[in-house]
Structure formats: structure tokens, C-alpha cells
Structure 1
Amino acid sequence: MIMNRRSLMTTALTLGAMKAFPGLSFAQARPLVFATFTGSWEEAHKAVLVPAFRKANADAAIVLDPMLSVDQIAKVNAAKANPPIDVMLHDPGPALVAIGQDLVEPYPVEKSVYYKDLISEAQEQTGPAPFFQVVGLTYNPEAIKTPPTSWADLWKPEFKGRVGITNLNSTLGTGWLVEIAKMRGGSEANVDPAFKALEELKPNLAAVAANPGALATLFQQGQIDISPGNFNAIQILKARGVPVEFVAPKEGAIAFKTTIHIVKNSPNRELAFKLIEAALTAEVQTTLMKPPYLIVPTNSKVAMSGEIARVLAKDTAELKQKFVFQDWKKINEQRSAWIERFNREIKI
């Protein structure tokens, strides 16, 4: 078995705990494992959420294991009785799958201090939403002097070999595919027009990234000049001087909440709960809302400000009014088939 650095760290921490407390099993002794997302999410959680959690919990051991939601679900499904993850992070589609497959514990709302502070849309009893995500167009302003205004701009001949997208394993990829289907006369139930559009896009495609973090990095590497992208995924790059900007297309940017869940049968239920509590606090969400992270908050005590208020929305009411919220229950009915079709048909 190949072990990466994160696996080795988890094992070392576990063995240390077992040595100190001989009565503990391996599962009981291992540190809290939080499956965050890749890229800017991992950086933000490592810099802000993890220190806040450890400060409030006697410096408790925690390991971040970044991966896509589909991989989180696969890992937990492979070891339901002794899951290798304690806390999962999911966008709407994967959250419905994880809940439907009975992989998550109900959130203990009755003992939560901060659940009541969340906006109503974020109060999910299967796992609250600590933030929103917004997907629009990201582009290099040094290469593209006139900002794009529509999803359709990705097909412009001047962008030949300069467009990036993600595969459909990510919510970004699937959500964008649905919007292209709508633009071409389709819907959440019919994305055939989008696959036809993807064939037409091939001359412009420079890369199909594995996840949103990898897609954002392609701007830094100079491999692409325009793509569908997450608002916050590019912010750390901007802070480092990478020329990249975000714009909402005229068809409407995509918005969705991301929920955080205690994994069923976790040996670290209490610590998992405390990590989520930390993610819901006004202090953590206020910090994450500021540069270089710019993550959209859900705590009602946190007023949207700065770049988020300027570019996205002044408050949650405006966010709900301006952006597109998709029907992920309908999308999930065919998503697996779409992923297989995409992987088969869209190659560079």
C-alpha cells in the first residue's frame, strides 16, 4: 500500500496516542480527520478553521484530507463500520447522495451554540452549511482586455486553445454543464444540448482539470486565459499577484450552499461536532470572508462586506435574488451517467 505524507502523519499521531493510552483501539486513537476540498479550501481551513478549533479544544489533533465529494463518499462507503473520515464537506448533489446512503449522523442541533445564528437556508439538520459558493467566469485580464459577459464567450474563436474546464466529478463542472444545456434549450433533466456544445468547444479547450483548485492553478501556470470558475478559488492566486478576475455571466452565476457533516460511526463524534461548531462561528466566518479567502458567510451575525459585497451581493437576500440555484435532486438522477459520458467523449 502506498502511503502519502498525510496518511503517515495520521498513522504516527494514532500510534502515539495508543502508546500513551494502551487501552485504546487504532480507530479510537486516531486524530480527527476532516475531508475538506482541494485548493483554496484546504488553505483557508488550514489557516483559519483548524487553529480556531484547536484553540477551543485543548490543541486537539486534526488532519485535513482534501478531496472531491465523490471521493469522500467512496472512502466512507468502503469502510462504513470504521470510516477513515470523521467530517465530510459536500456541495448539494453529493450531500443528497451521502444522506441517501445513510453515511452521516444527524447534527446535534439541541446542543449547538451557533446553529441558531445561521440563516434559515443554512440550517440543515443533516449537516449545516458554513458557507455559500458562487460560480461564474474567471479570466486573465492581461490577455482578455474586454471582460467576458456570457457563458457563450467561451466558444469565441479568439480563445482557441485557451479555455479550461473541470470534469463532471466536481460540482463546478456539473453545474456549468447544466447551465450550458439551458442556454442551448436543455434543462437539469436534459443535457444533450450541452454535450453537443462541448464538442463544438473542443478547439478552444486547453485543459480539463481534475478539480476546481487545479483549474484555478492553470491561470498561474499560464495554460489558460478563461474558464468557468469558483469566485473564492481564484482569490488566493489574486493575492499572490496572479492576473485573474471573476465576472458573473449575464445568464446568471450559479450559487449553492456547502454543508458539513459528521460521518456515521465516526470514533470522534464529539470532536467532529466541535469542529463544525467552530466553522459556524461569526469569528471564523468573518475571517474567512476577508482576503485572501473571500468565502461567502452563512452566519446571520456576519455582514457581507469588502469584495464580496462589491462583486457578489450585499446580503443573502440579494444573493438569492441575483444568482441561479439549481435542482440538484433532479441533476443527481442522471449525474453518474453524465460523468461516464463526459469521460468517454471529452478528451484533449
Structure 2
Amino acid sequence: MTNFKRLAATTLLTGLTALPLHAQDKEVLTVIVYGGSFGDGWTKSVIEPFEAANPDIDVQIATGLTMQTVAMMRAQRDDATIDVVMMDEVGAAQAKAEGLFEPLDAESIPNLNDLYPRFRSEDDVYTKFMYVSQALTWNKDYIDETPASWEEMWNPDYAGLTVVPDISTSHGNFFLLTANDLAGGNVENVDPGFEKLQSLTPNILTFYTQHAQMAQLFAQGDAAITSWTSDRAQGAIDAGANLGWTIPEEGAYIIDSTIGIAKGTKHLEAAQRYIDYALSVEAQAANAENTYLAPVNSKVELPEAVAAKLPVGEGVLDGLKAVDWDYVTTVRPEWTERWNREVATQ
């Protein structure tokens, strides 16, 4: 992505309207995209080929974390400046509850009809566009054999070497639920999970809030094991990190991100074309290869070498556990307060 596109995205978020000269002759579509290596891969797999196929549209990119994006949608409800949003489903569920989406239309976005059913939201308010899995990730400098269970994070051999995702992230919620599953709880009773996490505290080195932070802890040799994500772990491995990742015998949670159209967009037709392209076989296959994102389009056929790096294959998708974000959204504040009191301060 060019520096100018990054600058243009920043000016939009600060209320300015500076645009490159060439964009004045095109329809400008402003989209939220995750940052870092994800953004680089998305630009290569989706934005550049989309612009090539749609020369009348100039895509401007803004970055933002999920809850920042929801706040932006709320603030721009009556005068949208961001047209297409990308976020974790915990945020999408909140935005849906507040009526902040322009519903998707399958006639204008025909690739919706090719998605695996579990990835289409009720009433097509938004859609999931990719998935990865929660991944038990380990540093091979410390651990020789593939861990069989999430219980390996409680192994006393890794005291001071275990890193946990913070509850302020969606990954922290996944890990709380994982501990809760190990302890026999359920989503409406997380007491066993909090007790299980309290027993982990002697092992905890720190809590991560950013993927880059986790990558650095592994690179420095400070961390032996964590709950991360399949795409980030595989990306680090292919970049030379001495890591491994697995879906343990108890299973793992699916991590799927959503894409949707902001309420009040002035560029509805362009937004629909963009989302349709993001869901296409071509874009989904490119994202799988470039960014380790598993496809949600049922017509995608991946080369064996690509599929081997993703949580795909017979039985894998069906075995991934899903979070009821509509419910979790209502209890997250309580979970966060309790985590900060009972886990983070121990």
C-alpha cells in the first residue's frame, strides 16, 4: 500500500478531506482493513486486483481495532465517511444491535450464495469473510514435542514463560472460555474458568494485547507457550521463527472476522462490488496463500501446500467451536472486571 493511501486514511479519521489528484476523477471508497502483515496481504490479494478490475473506484484504507471501529460507526451514523468496515464478530454483534450496518443484498453480492452456511449472518446484516483458529503455539527452543492438550500451558516447567492474551482482546475471551471448558464450565457459568486461570498465574510471564507483542516475545526467547492464532503463528514460522502450532485434542475456537457496509454510506454500489470481490474464489484463494486466512467460499479449492498451513481439511472446520457473541457481548463488561480483579492482579 502506498504511503499516500495510508496518509489519506489518517486524514479521514481526523476529519480532513485531502485526496490524491487522481482520486478526484474516481469514486472514492473508504474501507477499514486490519494493519500490519494482514493489511499488506489484503492489499495484495483484494484491493489491488479489485482496483484493476474496477478502474472507476479508488480504494482508500483506514485501520482500526474492532471497538474503535464500532465507535466510529456510531459517531458517523448521520454522515458516513467510512464505507466498508472489517472487525471481529464481538464488535459486529454490537454494531448490529445498534443498527449501524447497511444490510447486504445477495442480488448485488452474489458470492454470498457460495459461502458455507455457518459464515452468513442472520438477515445478511454483515458476513464473515475468513476464518482462522485459536492455536496452541509453542517455542521449539523450549518444547520438543507437539503438546497434546491445552493443559500444557499449566505445566510448571513453563513458570514465567507462559503468555496469555488479555481479556481486552477477543483472544482473551477465547482463552477464558478454553480454561472454562477444561474445568467443566459453560458460557453461562464461567466460575470454573476463572478458578482454572487463577491456578495458571505462577506460569504467566505477561498478557499480550497486540500480535506484534506476542511475536516479539517469541523472537526474544522470553516465551515458551501461548494461545495465539493459526495465521499469526504460521506467518511467524514462514518468516523463520522456531515455533509450532496445533489444535489440541480438546479442540479450539474458530476466529472469524466480519465485513459489512456502514449505515449511511454514500457509495453503496461500490461497497457491494468490493465485498463481492472479497468473497470471490480468486480473492479467497489469494488470501489463503498470502495471509493464511482460511476461505469461507465453499467453491475454493486450495493447493495441498497451502492447505497444510491452514485449519482446513476433512472434519477440521466442523470441529472448531463457535462463540455466541450475541450473549458474550452482554457479559463482557462483567468478565473484564472479574479478570482484572482475579487474574491480572494475582
1:3-49, Cα deviation, whole Å (9 max, x unpaired): x9551487799324699969xxxxxx994332233444223212221
- Give the conservation status (yes or no) of the 8 Å contact 2:27–2:57: no
Query: Residue 296 of structure 2 aligns to which amino acid in structure 1?
Result: T
Aligned-partner Cα distance in 2 for 1:222–1:59: 49
Aligned-partner Cα distance in 2 for 1:190–1:118: 33
Provide the residue aligned with 2:252 in structure 1.
253
In structure 1, the gaps of 5 or more residues are: 23-28
TM-score, normalising length from structure 1? 0.85
Change (3 A) 1:186 1:244: same
Pair 1:143 & 2:146 matched: no
Choose which of 294, 297, 311 in structure 1 pairs with 2:295.
297
Query: Residue 297 of structure 1 aligns to which amino acid in structure 2?
Result: P
Change (3 A) 1:20 1:46: closer
- Give the conservation status (yes or no) of the 8 Å contact 2:11–2:18: no
1:175-217, Cα deviation, whole Å (9 max, x unpaired): 1211211211221112222222222222222221113454344
Change (3 A) 1:241 1:188: same
Matched ranges for 1:166-181 at <5 A: 166-181=165-180
Query: Residue 299 of structure 1 aligns to which amino acid in structure 2?
Result: N
Provide the residue aligned with 2:17 in structure 1.
14
Pair 1:95 & 2:92 matched: yes
Aligned-partner Cα distance in 2 for 1:244–1:307: 18
Change (3 A) 1:59 1:210: farther
Provide the residue aligned with 1:337 in structure 2.
334
Query: Residue 29 of structure 2 aligns to which amino acid in structure 1?
Result: L
Query: Residue 17 of structure 2 aligns to which amino acid in structure 1?
Result: T
Provide the residue aligned with 2:188 in structure 1.
189
In structure 2, the gaps of 5 or more residues are: 1-5
Change (3 A) 1:166 1:40: farther
Shift of 1:230: 0.8
Query: Residue 202 of structure 1 aligns to which amino acid in structure 2?
Result: T
Identity between Structure 1 and Structure 2 (%): 26
Shift of 1:132: 1.6
Query: Residue 172 of structure 2 aligns to which amino acid in structure 1?
Result: G
Provide the residue aligned with 1:204 in structure 2.
203
Change (3 A) 1:280 1:13: farther
Change (3 A) 1:168 1:250: same
Provide the residue aligned with 1:48 in structure 2.
45
Aligned residue for 2:197, secondary structure, equals helix
TM-score, normalising length from structure 2? 0.86
Matched ranges for 1:253-292 at <5 A: 253-290=252-289, 292=290
Aligned residue for 2:164, secondary structure, equals strand
Aligned-partner Cα distance in 2 for 1:147–1:293: 24
- Give the conservation status (yes or no) of the 8 Å contact 1:220–1:237: no
Aligned-partner Cα distance in 1 for 2:149–2:205: 19
Mean alpha-carbon deviation: is it higher for 85-94 or for 154-163? 85-94
Provide the residue aligned with 1:322 in structure 2.
319
Pair 1:157 & 2:135 matched: no
Aligned residue for 2:339, secondary structure, equals helix
Query: Residue 175 of structure 1 aligns to which amino acid in structure 2?
Result: F
Aligned residue for 1:54, secondary structure, equals helix
- Give the conservation status (yes or no) of the 8 Å contact 1:212–1:230: no
Provide the residue aligned with 1:79 in structure 2.
76
Query: Residue 135 of structure 2 aligns to which amino acid in structure 1?
Result: G
- Give the conservation status (yes or no) of the 8 Å contact 2:162–2:205: yes
Aligned length: 336
- Give the conservation status (yes or no) of the 8 Å contact 1:167–1:211: no
